[in-house]
C-alpha cells in the first residue's frame, strides 16, 4: 500500500554527491531532501521557491552525471508501496500501481515470480520505478511504454497532483514528456500504473535472446536469461562506476543511412516503427569505429567490453566525464557526420542556472 507515514521534511546541506549516483563523481550538493511519504509533497511545494535552485528529483542516480558541485536541491524519492488496482479474470490481466521509490528490478522480479508477464525483458535495469517513465526505459525490444498505462505526478512549483495517461506521457525512444527541458525538475513522479498479463508474450527478437542456448518458454525463463546476459556483459556500477549506455542510438534519415552504408557497410541499422524510412544506428559501433573502445581519459574511459558505456577507473570529479563526452561526440561527428546525444541527465555546472 501507499505509505501514509507523516514526517517533516529534513534538509541536509552540502551532501557528498558520490554515494547518490552510480558514476560516483566527487562533489557536493547544496541541499538534500528525502521524500518518504506522500504527505510531505505539500510541504515540498510550499517551500519550493525557498529551496536552493535548481531542484532535481533523483531516484538511484543511475542515469545522471554531475560534472561539478550541484548548487541546488536534490529531492531523493523514497516513496514505497505497490498494490493491484484491478484484476480482470476474464482477460487474465491486471493493473498494478507501484510507488516511485520502489527499486525497478525488485518490482520486475516480484511480478514475474507472481506469474505476471510484461516486464521480464526489462530485468536488472538499475534505478527506481519513478525514473522509468522519464526516458521510457527499454531493453531487448521492450519499452516501458508497452506496459505503462499511466503516471501520477506532482507538480512541484504549484503543488498539485495530475494523472498522465499513456498518450499524455508522450513516450518515444528513450524520451517522454517528463524528459523535455521545459518540464525538467517540475514534475515529481509519485507512482506508475502497469498493465500485466497472465499470458506470456515472447519478445525474443534481440540476438542474445533469440540465440539463447536454453528454451525461453515463459516469463521466468526470459527474466533469468536477461539477468544472466546482462551480468556477463555490463560492468557492475558498485565495482566500476558507470551510468549504463552513455549515448542514445542515433535515429537518422534514409539519406543519411544510405550515405553511411557506403562508408561503413557493417554498421548495424534497425528500422524505426514510428518513422518510416528512418534508421536507428548502433552508437556503440560508431564509437568503436572512431577508435575509442577502451580509450581512457584521465580517471574515466570507454569500457573495453562495451563501447557505449563510459566507466570511472579512479575516484575523481565529473569534469573528466564531460571532457570525454565532448571528445567522443567530436570524433564521431568529424569521422561520420553523426551527432551523438548523451542519454543521462548531465549537470554541467552553474552556467545552466
Ligand atoms: P536517476 O538517475 O536518479 O534519475 C534519472 C532521471 O529521472 C533524472 O532526470 C531525474 O531527475 C529523473 N527522475 C528520477 N526519479 C524521478 C521521479 N520520481 N520523478 C521525476 N523525475 C525523476 N536504461 C534503460 O533504459 N535500459 C537499460 O537497459 C538500462 N541499463 C542500465 C544499466 C546500467 C549498468 C546502468 C548504470 C544504467 C542503465 N540504464 C538503463 C539507465 C538507468 O538505469 C535508467 O534510466 C533508470 O530508469 C534510472 O533510474 P534512477 O532511479 O537511477 O534515476
Ligand atoms: P545488443 O543486444 O548487443 O544490441 C546492440 C544495439 O542494437 C542495441 O543498442 C539495440 O538497440 C540494437 N538492437 C539489437 N537488436 C535489435 C533489434 N532486433 N531491433 C532493434 N534494435 C536492435 O545491445 P546491448 O548493449 O547488449 O544491450 C541489450 C539491451 O539492453 C538493449 O536494448 C539496450 O538498449 C539495453 N541496455 C540499455 C542500457 C542503458 O543504459 N540505456 C544499458 C545496457 C543495456 P536499443 O538499445 O535501442 O535496444
Predicted confidence (pLDDT) per residue in 299-353, tens digit: 999 999 999 999 999 999 999 999 999 999 999 999 999 999 999 999 998 764 4
Residue nearest to atom 39 of ligand 1 (CA): 244
Pocket residue to mutate for ligand 2, from 105, 245, 272, 302, most atoms within 8 A of Cβ: 245
8-state DSSP, 324: H
User: In this predicted structure, which of 106-120, 157-171, 217-231, 261-275 has the lowest mean pLDDT?
Assistant: 261-275
pLDDT, residue 352, reads 47
Exactly one of 245, 282, 312, 319 is catalytic; name it: 245
Q: Is 198 a catalytic residue?
A: no
Q: Is 25 a catalytic residue?
A: no
Q: How far is the CA of 320 from the centre of ligand 2 (A)?
A: 26
The single residue of 102, 120, 143, 343 carrying the catalytic annotation is 343
Q: What is the per-residue pLDDT for 353?
A: 42
Pairwise CA distance, residues 323 & 54, whole Å: 23
Model-level pTM? 0.96
DSSP 205: -
Interval between CA 110 and ligand 1 midpoint (Å): 19
CA-based torsion, 210, 211, 216, 221: positive or negative: negative
DSSP 206: S
Of the candidates 243, 245, 323, the residue with the CA atom closest to the CA atom of residue 60: 243
**Residue 174 designated active-site:** yes
Q: How far apart are CA 31 and CA 55, in angstroms?
A: 9
Per residue in 278-297, pLDDT (tens digit) is 999 999 999 999 999 999 99
3-state secondary structure 25-85: CECEEEEEEEECCCCHHHHHHHCHHHCCCCEEEECCCCCEEECCCEEEEEEEECCCCEEEE
Q: How far, in Å, from the CA of 118 to the mean position of ligand 1?
A: 19
The predicted-structure confidence for 14-44, as pLDDT tens digits, reads as follows: 999 999 999 999 999 999 999 999 999 999 9
Residue nearest to atom 45 of ligand 1 (CA): 63
Query: What's the distance, CA 339 to chain centroid?
Result: 20
Q: Alpha-carbon distance 96 to 260, whole Å?
A: 44
Choice among 82, 97, 166, 174 that is catalytic? 174
Position 122 scores a pLDDT of 98
Better-predicted residue by pLDDT, 112 or 2: 112
**Residue tagged 507501484 (cell numbers):** 98
CA distance 291 to 173: 27
> What was the pLDDT predicted at 351?
61
Output the average pLDDT for the chain.
Answer: 94
Phi, psi of 159 (to 5 degrees): 70, 50
From residue 223, alpha-carbon distances to 96, 119, 227, 230, 235 in Å are 19, 8, 6, 11, 19
Report yes or no: 334 and 54 within 8 Å, Cβ to Cβ: no
Burial code (b: 16+ CB inside 10 Å, e: under 16) for 301-327 equals bbbeebbbbbbbeeebbbbbbbebbee
Q: CA angle at residue 111 from 107 to 115, to 5 degrees?
A: 170
What is the 8-class DSSP label of residue 249?
P
What pLDDT band is residue 10 in, cutting at 50, 70 and 90?
Answer: confident
Q: How far is the CA of 213 from the centre of ligand 1 (A)?
A: 30
Q: How far apart are CA 257 and CA 308, in angstroms?
A: 20
The DSSP call for residue 236 is: P
What cell was used for 333? 561527428
Please give the pLDDT value at position 86. 97
Amino acid at each position: 500500500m501507499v505509505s501514509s507515514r507523516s514526517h517533516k521534511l529534513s534538509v541536509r546541506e552540502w551532501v557528498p554527491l558520490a554515494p547518490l549516483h552510480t558514476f560516483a563523481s566527487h562533489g557536493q550538493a547544496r541541499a538534500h531532501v528525502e521524500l518518504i511519504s506522500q504527505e510531505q509533497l505539500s510541504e515540498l511545494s510550499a517551500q519550493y521557491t525557498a529551496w536552493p535552485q535548481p531542484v532535481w528529483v533523483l531516484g538511484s542516480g543511475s542515469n545522471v552525471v554531475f560534472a561539478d558541485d550541484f548548487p541546488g536541491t536534490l529531492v531523493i524519492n523514497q516513496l514505497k508501496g505497490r498494490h493491484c488496482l484491478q484484476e480482470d479474470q476474464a482477460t487474465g490481466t491486471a493493473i498494478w500501481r507501484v510507488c516511485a521509490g520502489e527499486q525497478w528490478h525488485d518490482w520486475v522480479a516480484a511480478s514475474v515470480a507472481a506469474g505476471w508477464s510484461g516486464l521480464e525483458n526489462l530485468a536488472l535495469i538499475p534505478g527506481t520505478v519513478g525514473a522509468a517513465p522519464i526516458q521510457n526505459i527499454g531493453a531487448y525490444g521492450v519499452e516501458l511504454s508497452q506496459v505503462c498505462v499511466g503516471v501520477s505526478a506532482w507538480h512541484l512549483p504549484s503543488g498539485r497532483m495530475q494523472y498522465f495517461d499513456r498518450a499524455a506521457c508522450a513516450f518515444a525512444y528513450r524520451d517522454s514528456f517528463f524528459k523535455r527541458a521545459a518540464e525538467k525538475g517540475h514534475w515529481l513522479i509519485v507512482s506508475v500504473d502497469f498493465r500485466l498479463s497472465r499470458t506470456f508474450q515472447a519478445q525474443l527478437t534481440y540476438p542474445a535472446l533469440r540465440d539463447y542456448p536454453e528454451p525461453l518458454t515463459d516469463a521466468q525463463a526470459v527474466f533469468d536469461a536477461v539477468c544472466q546476459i546482462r551480468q556477463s556483459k555490463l560492468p557492475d556500477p558498485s565495482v566500476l562506476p558507470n551510468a549504463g549506455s552513455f549515448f542514445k542510438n542515433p535515429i537518422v534519415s534514409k539519406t543519411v543511412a544510405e550515405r553511411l552504408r557506403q562508408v561503413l557497410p557493417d554498421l548495424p541499422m534497425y528500422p524505426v516503427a514510428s518513422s518510416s524510412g528512418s534508421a536507428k544506428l548502433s552508437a556503440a559501433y560508431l564509437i568503436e569505429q572512431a577508435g575509442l573502445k577502451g580509450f581512457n581519459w584521465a580517471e574515466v574511459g570507454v569500457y573495453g567490453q562495451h563501447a557505449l558505456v563510459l566507466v570511472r577507473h579512479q575516484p575523481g570529479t565529473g569534469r573528466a566525464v564531460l571532457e570525454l563526452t565532448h571528445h567522443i561526440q567530436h570524433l564521431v561527428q568529424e569521422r561520420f557526420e553523426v551527432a551523438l546525444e548523451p542519454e543521462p541527465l548531465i549537470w554541467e555546472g552553474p552556467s545552466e542556472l
